[in-house]
Structure 1
Amino acid sequence: MLIRRAAIVAAAVIAALGLVGCQDQRQEPTRPPVSWTTAPISDDQHLAVLGAARAIDPCALVPRSTLESIGTVLTVEVDTPSSCAAELNSTEFGSKTRLNWSISVDRDPLASFEGAVESRIGDAVVFAERDGAEHAPDVLVHTCMGSARFPVTIGLFVQVSTPVADKPCAVLDSVLPGALDLLRAAPTMGTSPDTPESVVAGADPCAVLSRLGTTTPLAEQFVHGCVFDYQGSTIDLQYSYTGERIVAQGDPILVVNGHPGYDLRSITETYWYGAVLGPAIPSAGTVNSSLGPRVPVVKVMGRDPAVLREVLTRTAELFPAA
């Protein structure tokens, strides 16, 4: 099946990048290995980096053993195929500690932000906030964030929120070095018990282009998104996890391989179509009854509904029958 083949290709890409300690000796001359300390140059190298980033297990970057050194771990779960979140100590706003972290790929230089201090952790450039800012008396939560990126263009964003009396940047400082070490080790999907199996985890959002007979520039290809022109219409395609009832509240428009598709159009000139691609992923907490369980979804946006319907159909065909 195509998804299984994609997983095999992703594993080969990681080997080609030298992310698992060895190189694929059978790689083509046009696909040279790229190390974490080397910036990719060719389009093939950039595409290999994207494939490698998709194959990394996000929840494995901050394991429960690390979280337990911070507080009592209540939940750990994926937000998206490339991000994870954990709640500690309490479920109450103003009392809980929450960490969010996500994997990214960006060819542009890592940008600073207000309040950030630049540093280096190994080969990675880091911009992170520091504790010590004054807060208004009615503020209940203190937040600290940091971004890091290796020369290979794979990066990590971490945000920590704590009760205002605590020091979230101290938590960030305790987490970031180990998370970057693990990122460089490139743990594969399924390494963490908190990362569920999912048909979109590791999937290439631009894989449908070959079925449509079109291409798109490298700058329009992302970890879980793809922007391309097709039949005179610009299409934005995204893989995500979404509450099943949010998708199912749209008007049913098709079923492909058992995957239901819906018209999610808002009141604009732009149409949103979406399809459920697989079974619900487990929830670490209570499922919101109004949203339903989270399911792997493809969403496509554009201005021509006929074109969107075709793109949605061809994308759903890539995934195993429900």
Structure 2
Amino acid sequence: MASVRAIDTCALIPRATLDGIGTIMTVEASAPDTCAAELDSTEIGKKTRLTWSLSTSRDPLGPSSGTTETKIGDATVHTERDAQPAPDSKIRTCTAWTRFPATVGLFVHVSAPIAAQPCAAHDAALPGALELLRTEPPVGTSPDTPKTPVAVANPCAVLTQLDISTPLDKQFLHGCMFEYKGTIVDLQYAYDNTALVARGKPILVVNDHPGYDLGSTTETAWYAAILGDPLTPAGPTNSALGPRVPVVNLMGRDPAVLREVLGHTAELFPSA
């Protein structure tokens, strides 16, 4: 798991490959394990967008019905080609789920203008991505991958401080689910817009990392903490939302438990 977490996702489809598909507009890490590129335009209906992410066999990632299975070396690829768009859709898509025997997987999704062929972009990108994945390029290989404290952080590391454990099937690349004091806690590392986090009620500051109560609906509460500096944007940002920042998101039913876990998680990240 740790070795997969250390792989630079953006490096799997480098700019040299993207250049061969279209004119690069933006490339950015949309999540610690996900990268996205916009080609030819940034406007929906005119742009080609590639999104790719890593997973392990324990991550909830897999093919749906209606896919075709092929082999690329020792990798098994399930592809949904030429998905029938809705009558009023401006885009069409092509999606592939790839799994290696050693449990690591790669998800690639392409959306393109309705008159384009999204699977052509997919076919141009996937074989090279799998070859690069075999070399396990470390985080920092791609110039588009930000250096953040959560990029290679183990989301289950806080369990040591809580003196608990959780089953392997609840441990993911950047997420961890566990039971603490009778409450199921869902912990996720992510990159979120500053305003979406800071709109919550401030509840703590640990190592200069502010934590927030984001409110609740029915029986579920959400808490979050900002764990690092803002990411450099790949393109224009929404001034109302602010820049994206590395965060930990918590979800569960007991606010007191979430607050405690939030504080312990923030302790894992030293002040900048």
Give the TM-score normalised by the residue count of structure 1: 0.81
| Paired-residue identity, % | 61
Larger Cα Rg: Structure 1 or Structure 2? 1
Query: Which residue does the alignment assign to 2:211?
Result: 261
Query: Which residue does the alignment assign to 1:76?
Result: 27
CA distance in 1 between counterparts of 2:59 and 2:161 reads: 30
Query: Which residue does the alignment assign to 1:274?
Result: 224
Match of 1:216 among 158, 163, 166: 166
The one-letter code of the counterpart of 2:45 is G
1:138 is displaced (CA, Å) by 3.4
1:139 is displaced (CA, Å) by 2.9
CA distance in 1 between counterparts of 2:183 and 2:62 reads: 32
Runs of 4+ in 1 over 2 A off after TM superposition: 107-115, 133-139
CA distance in 2 between counterparts of 1:277 and 1:310 reads: 16
The one-letter code of the counterpart of 1:122 is G
Decide whether the 8 Å contact of 2:50 with 2:108 is kept in 1: yes
Alignment of 1:44-55 (within 5 A): 50-55=1-6
* Structure 1 residues 95 and 231: CA distance shift in structure 2, 3 A: same
For the residue of structure 2 that corresponds to 1:264, the secondary structure is strand
1:265 is displaced (CA, Å) by 1.6
Query: Which residue does the alignment assign to 1:169?
Result: 119
CA distance in 1 between counterparts of 2:201 and 2:35 reads: 31
For the residue of structure 1 that corresponds to 2:54, the secondary structure is strand
The one-letter code of the counterpart of 1:174 is A
Query: Which residue does the alignment assign to 2:253?
Result: 303
Query: Which residue does the alignment assign to 1:14?
Result: none
Match of 2:235 among 274, 285, 288: 285
CA distance in 2 between counterparts of 1:196 and 1:108 reads: 23
1:137 is displaced (CA, Å) by 5.3
Query: Greater shift after overlay, 134-143 or 212-221?
Result: 134-143
CA distance in 1 between counterparts of 2:250 and 2:61 reads: 29
CA distance in 2 between counterparts of 1:141 and 1:234 reads: 39
Decide whether the 8 Å contact of 1:86 with 1:98 is kept in 2: yes
CA distance in 2 between counterparts of 1:90 and 1:225 reads: 33
1:130 is displaced (CA, Å) by 2.8
CA distance in 2 between counterparts of 1:169 and 1:141 reads: 12
For the residue of structure 2 that corresponds to 1:266, the secondary structure is strand
CA distance in 1 between counterparts of 2:58 and 2:34 reads: 19
Match of 1:193 among 131, 136, 143: 143
Match of 1:242 among 176, 182, 192: 192
Bigger fraction of residues in strand: 2
Q: How many residues align?
A: 272
Match of 2:80 among 116, 129, 143: 129
> Which sections of structure 2, spanning at least 5 residues, go unmatched?
none
For the residue of structure 1 that corresponds to 2:216, the secondary structure is coil
CA distance in 2 between counterparts of 1:241 and 1:59 reads: 15
CA RMSD across the alignment: 1.6
> Which sections of structure 1, spanning at least 5 residues, go unmatched?
1-49
* Structure 1 residues 266 and 109: CA distance shift in structure 2, 3 A: closer
